[in-house]
Every structure is written in C-alpha cells, then in structure tokens.
Copies of this chain bind each other. A is one copy, B any other.
Amino acid sequence: MDIGMVGLGKMGGNMRTRLQRAGHTVVGFDRNPEVSDVGSLEELVAALPSPKVVWVMVPSGDATRATVRELGELLGEGDLVVDGGNSRWTDDQANAEMLAGKGVGFVDCGVSGGVWGLDNGYALMFGGSADDVAKVQPALDALKPEGDFGAVHAGKVGAGHFSKMVHNGIEYAVMQAYAEGWELLEKAEVTDNVTEVFRSWREGTVIRSWLLDLLVAALDETPALEGIRGYADDSGEGRWTVEAGIENAVATPAITAALYARFVSRQDDSPAMKAVAAMRNQFGGHAIQTSPPQGGDASGDS
C-alpha cells in the first residue's frame, strides 16, 4: 500500500524502512530535510493516492496535536490518520471527532519495540472502527513481528493508546523489579559476580524475559554499570497509568513505586528529606547536615 509517514526520527525512520522492506510505498516527511522525502505536509498528502493514509509518528503532546490538526485541513472524505505516537489516550477522542467532521477516519496505535523493532517487528495496539483499521491493515501486517502475537485491535478509538499506556506502566514496574534485585545483590556482596547470576537467569527461571536479556547486555557493555548515572526520565505513560488507576480506584503500588523512584532519581537533593531532617533535629537534637553533600558518614538516632 501507499502510506505517508510524518516524523522520521528513531522510531518513524526505522518503521519507514520496515514498511519498504515489505514492499510498501512510503512517502516520508520530517522537519529535517536530510531524511525527508517531501518538503511539506501538503506535498506528502498530494503524493498519496486516495484513500490517503497518513501515519503520524512525532513527539506526543503539542507536536502530535498540531500535526493531526493540520492533516485535518489537508485530507478529505475517506482518508485516514493514524497516530502512532505515545499520545495520551484521552487526546484520541477529540482528534477523532475533529477529523470525523471532515470525513477523515482516525486510528490510534501504540507502538512498542524501540530500536529493535526494525528487525524484530513492532508490537502494535490499535483502536478505531473496523473500517478505518482495514485501510491501514497492510501496513500493520508489515510492521508487526512475525508469528501469532504482537498486534491487537484493542477496541474503539483510544483503546490502542490506553493499552500502550498500561504496557508502559507495567514496563516501569518490571524494570524496577530487576533494578531492586540488582542493587541488593551488588550491595550485599554475598555472590561473587552479580552479572553471572543475572546471566544465568536468562533460561529456566520464572523471571526470564526480554528486559532481563537487555540488562545482561548492558552489564556486559558496562561492567557493574560503572559511570552510568542513576537518573531516569519518564515520558508520560507511567504517570498516566497511575492517574488512570486513581480514576478507577485501582491500586498500582508497584507501578507507582517505579514512577516515584524515577522522580527522586532526578533530584539533587530531596526537599521532603530536608523536612524530615529538620524535624529530627527539632525533637532529638540530631545533627543536620548542610549542603553540599559531604559523604555518607553522618550518624544519629531518633
């Protein structure tokens, strides 16, 4: 099929390649002219046969909303927009309604797989009407992994991004689980070689997984993770998962713990712990330390 791809970064660029390998014709647009096939969204739309299908793969939030809005002005009856970015699922309904007013269909598609997707295929979770999904089905078939799994029509508009959001929430907690185990093994110094323990877990254990494989790969590249900073960003899905849990009165303590660990990892100093230190000093005369940090040798008792 012919498909337009807006956004040719780490994800979109590789997806273009995988689609082309499968024999599809991709017209790509990116603000970076070096990777772009056309000079503008207008040119991209003009280059596609009808019904025109445009896959949006730009940063979630303002950039995606602006791109979808602009496509709404360029596309027409029977065309389709696919939002493949990490948009918040609550954006999807508004996008779908805006486009529906012009006869343009909408599919939201969560995409997982990272830099490995080019060769392994991308896991796809998509939402929208059966008719709209059918228009992009050949591309979905090309992008997904071979085998029986890796793609799901999760439900109506929004269900794709909602599924991807929960996927990422789970991902946070699974990474946190391995991370906690790794820190404990490193700190306890009971085992001779923590990397070899993790490596052994890759087969036969209950916790074998792709993330475990990746952690072992990272430990091979950077023994004991020396020089890597314990700093982790978050890009939204973890927060939204916790918020969706709260909205539905569903407790997500492990996912939340993972999210909060990331928040704290980005602080040079914890304001909350300043308050704890200040209270301890008030009631017990416990010494408080003044910044900058001076090592780990302070003592005291409560």
Contacts and interface: CB of A to CB of B under 8 A. Distances in A.
B253 A175 contact: no
Nearest to A234: B302
Contacts of A290: 227-229
B230 A175 contact: no
A70 B222 CA distance: 46
Given A168-B302, A173-B254, A241 B184 contact: yes
Interface stretch (A22-30, A38-46, A96-104, A210-218): A210-218
Contacts of A177: 170, 172-174, 177, 254-255
Given A145-B204, A201-B167, A204-B145, A232 B280 contact: yes
Contact of A273 (B10, B235, B261, B299): B261
A216 to B, nearest CB: 9
Interface string A245-267: 11111111111111111111111
A204 B142 CA distance: 13
A253 B261 contact: yes
A203 B123 contact: yes
Of A200, A245, A260, chain B has the most CB atoms within 10 Å of the CB of: A200
A50 interface: no
B203 A147 contact: yes
B282 A231 contact: no
Q: Taking the full assembly, how many copies of this chain does it contain? A: 4
A211 to B, nearest CB: 6
A197 interface: yes
A302 B205 contact: no
Nearest to A143: B204
A77 interface: no
B210 A181 contact: no
A180 B191 contact: no
A207 interface: yes
B278 A215 contact: yes
A284 B86 CA distance: 13
Report the 3 A-B pairs with minimum CB-CB distance, sorted nearest first.
A235-B301, A209-B209, A123-B204
16 contacts: A113-B204, A122-B204, A153-B192, A155-B190, A155-B192, A167-B201, A167-B205, A172-B302, A173-B174, A230-B269, A230-B272, A233-B280, A239-B247, A251-B261, A253-B261, A265-B276
